[in-house]
Chain A
Amino acid sequence: MKVITAYCNLRADECLVNGEVVARWDAGSEDSWFKQIYKQQELAYPKFYKMDVLSQAGYLASELIKRVNPGISEAYADDEIALVFANTSSSAETDRRFIQSYEGGGSPSPSLFVYTLPNIVLGEIAILNKWYGENMFAVLPKFVPGFYLDYSRILFASGSRALLGGWLEVTAGSTDVFLFMVEERESGTEFKEENLIHLSQTGAVAAY
């Protein structure tokens, strides 16, 4: 059966992998929250610093998932892991910054413009891992487990053997990131609606 073999939640002030907190936001740090995670987790991929927030979020969460599930890349051919991500506001945060680059006297920034598409994060993950598989980015009104369940059936029926799913909503005011790996296993946390909802809310506390 298809099971969720690892997952990562990124929120405004904590980062969890398989439900365990691995990093907490340091209000006293001058670094952005994502940069704090990058440093705390001792990740080394200088391109991280060029990425926009969506790509940084996708990079961090996918690397942390690989860390707890280290066999992923070896277990599959380079085109067997499909990437299916979604969010609500597309690349709005980077779109806003790109507009700022040319409004008010500046000139349009090419390094921002190339990130003004939501699917760029899929490209970043594919480049880093040399994954040549299927990619899709959808824009949905809210996190809908059925979207991933339905589309994964199509992918698993047409050559993909694993799925990295993602909900990546990162705006100026909020961070709601949930990445999950789906693989075929004898047992484990079944890839189904209730589990996706439950795991997507892992670590969410009322105090937020």
Chain B
Amino acid sequence: MIYIGAEVIVGPLGDTAEDNWEALSENRSGIAPAPAVGFNKEAIHLSKIAGLSGPLRFQQLVIKALAVLKERIDASILTSDRTMVLISSTKGALDDNLHDPFSETCAAVMHAFNLAHLPVVISNACISGVLTLNVAGNMVGVGQYDHVIVIGCDVASDFVLYGFQSLFAVSDKPCAPFDAARNGITLGEGCGAALVSGTQSVFKNRPLELLTGTSANDANHISGPSRTGEGLVRSVMKTMNKHGVGAEEIDFICAHGTGTVFNDEMEAIAFGRLSLSDKPLNSLKGYFGHTLGAAGVIETAVCMQMMRNGMLIKSLGYRDAGTSVPLNIILENEPKKLRTILKTASGFGGGNASLMIRNL
């Protein structure tokens, strides 16, 4: 069995998964208006970490998250040569070193925690986090490593904000995933982490089971979602088939739900094709914004907290149905025993990825 646990979230809502859980259970969002940050000096809603500024923001966040995680595991595995650290990110420390956004952070993390191996960076746009968790599970599954720590991190930058503005993809209000009036993303920053291991005893708290999934390309467009949801359908079908899990076993879907018109529509079509439209579903982007390479890890960590606390969390920002295929969007927090959940992600480059978590 492949275990996942010791989840960590460092973001605008707090520095631990528990702080974040408290905020989520009160439906508090990290999104706030930021004055004069836009390309034309306009105010834009962002989900930014208070007090995180200046150089080495990316490195600071990664090291902070790993320090929190270290407290939740048998710390002796950190220095073992049977342990690997994977970092999931899109832009890394771009603001510190445009030409080499990752090397310095990897070296600093290795040094700070006396790791046996240099961390490896996986950079697959917005599916990076889910993909990296799957890679971690597969590495443990085939015995390449005994323990793999996944850290997903991205920091907000002018670069990314201006880019999404140039695509007219930034919401003029806090993002509203799956809502009829949605009109874009809200950019966020944060860091999520978790330990994936075949050994239950290395977790201080009870771990959950990671049912690793598959990724699939849409083979459609580099920056536009597929109109048929083909890649997402293939990814989810393979993930469920791999573990012999039928639709009736899925208790909840944590969707990607960026809040753009086309992404959310694509997901709705895909979940319809998968006969999963009736499953309770949310997007967590209304709480964290879109944290890009960190999103899949942060959102999986939230799923784990939802399972531990037996609670469905409202999809913040959603009011009126706004997709051609209706979905069962969670309107209010609701206690519910969650045994098996599905997490999905889709992103630029046509990538789609999915995984499942099972409560033990």
Contact B219 A126 (CB under 8 A): yes
Chain B contacts for A99, CB-based, 8 A? 98, 159
Asked if A90 and B101 sit within 8 Å, CB to CB, the answer is: yes
A 130-145 contacts with B by CB, 8 A: 130-141
Instruction: Assess whether A119 is in contact with B218, with CB atoms less than 8 Å apart.
Output: no
**Given A96-B98, A98-B159, also A141-B217 (CB < 8 A):** no
Q: Is there contact, CB below 8 Å, between B350 and A123?
A: yes
- Please tell me the size bucket of the interface on A: 35 or more
- Contact residues of B between 65 and 106, Cβ < 8 Å to A: 90-92, 94, 98-103, 106
Query: Using an 8 Å CB-CB cutoff, how does the interface string of B116-131 with A read, 1 for contact, 0 for none?
Result: 0010111111000001
Verify B216–A134 contact, CB threshold 8 A.
yes
Binds A, one of B26-34, B161-169, B267-275: B161-169
Shortest CB-to-CB span from B114 to chain A, Å, is: 18
Rounded to whole Å, the gap between the CB of A122 and the closest CB of chain B is: 6
| B123 A95 Cβ-Cβ under 8 A | no
Return the contact of B142 from the options A79, A117, A153 (Cβ within 8 A). Answer: A153
Q: Say whether, besides A114-B222, A154-B139, A123 and B351 are in contact (CB < 8 Å).
A: yes
| Known contacts A108-B163, A114-B348, A157-B142; is-contact A122 B217 (Cβ 8 Å) | yes
Q: Does A9 contact B (CB under 8 A)?
A: no
Given contacts A95-B94, A137-B124, contact A110 B103 (CB under 8 A): no
Would you call A129 and B39 a contact (CB within 8 A)? no
B220 within 8 A of A: yes
Chain A residue numbers with a CB within 8 Å of B242 are 158
Give A145-183 as 1s and 0s: 1 = Cβ < 8 Å from B's Cβ atoms.
Answer: 001001101100111000000000001000000000000
Q: Closest residue to A118 on the B side, CB-wise?
A: B123
* B155 contacts A by Cβ under 8 Å: no
| Other-chain residue from B94, B131, B219, B234 in contact with A127 (beta carbon distance below 8 A) | B219
When chains A and B are docked, how far (Å) is the Cα of A75 from the Cα of B241?
A: 24
Q: Is the CB of B238 within 8 A of A159?
A: yes
> Are B215 and A131 in contact (CB-based, < 8 A)?
no
Q: How many chain-B residues does the 8 Å CB contact rule pick out?
A: 52
A119, B349: Cβ atoms closer than 8 Å: yes
Q: Which of A88, A118, A131, A158 contacts B214 (CB 8 A)?
A: A158
**A113 close to chain B: CB less than 8 A:** yes
Please report the number of residue pairs spanning A and B whose Cβ atoms sit closer than 8 angstroms: 154
- Residues of B with C-beta under 8 A to A110: 163, 166-167
Query: A89: CB under 8 A from chain B?
Result: yes
Given contacts A132-B216, A137-B123, contact A89 B163 (CB under 8 A): no
Q: Which residue of B lies closest to A127 (CB)?
A: B219
A19-61 CB contacts (< 8 Å) to partner B: none
B142 touches A154 (CB 8 A): yes
B53 interfacial by beta-carbon distance below 8 Å: no
A92 in the interface (beta carbon within 8 A): yes
Bound Cα distance A107, B106 (Å): 33
State which of B124, B135, B162, B234 has its C-beta within 8 Å of the C-beta of A132.
B234
Query: Is residue B138 contacting chain A, with contact meaning CB distance below 8 A?
Result: yes
Q: Which residues of B contact A114 (CB under 8 A)?
A: 167, 222-223, 348
| A69 part of interface (Cβ distance < 8 Å) | no
Measured CA separation A90–B102 after assembly (Å): 9
| Interface residue from A107, A123, A138 paired with B123 (Cβ < 8 Å) | A138
Minimum distance in angstroms from B3 CB to a CB of chain A: 18
Q: How far is the CB of B90 from chain A (nearest CB, A)?
A: 6
Name A's B-contacting residues (CB within 8 A). Answer: 78-79, 83, 88-90, 92, 95-96, 98-99, 102, 107-110, 113-120, 122-124, 126-127, 129-141, 147, 150-151, 153-154, 157-159, 171
**Can you report 17 residue pairs joining A to B where beta carbons are below 8 Å apart?**
A92-B101, A96-B99, A99-B98, A108-B165, A110-B163, A114-B222, A115-B222, A117-B123, A117-B125, A123-B349, A132-B216, A132-B219, A134-B215, A139-B92, A150-B139, A154-B138, A157-B138
Since A79-B234, A150-B144 are in contact, a sample of 8 more A-B pairs with Cβ atoms closer than 8 Å, ordered by chain A residue number, is: A99-B159, A110-B163, A114-B167, A114-B222, A132-B230, A134-B214, A137-B122, A139-B92
The 3 A-B pairs with the shortest beta carbon distances in the complex, nearest first, are A123-B349, A113-B163, A126-B217
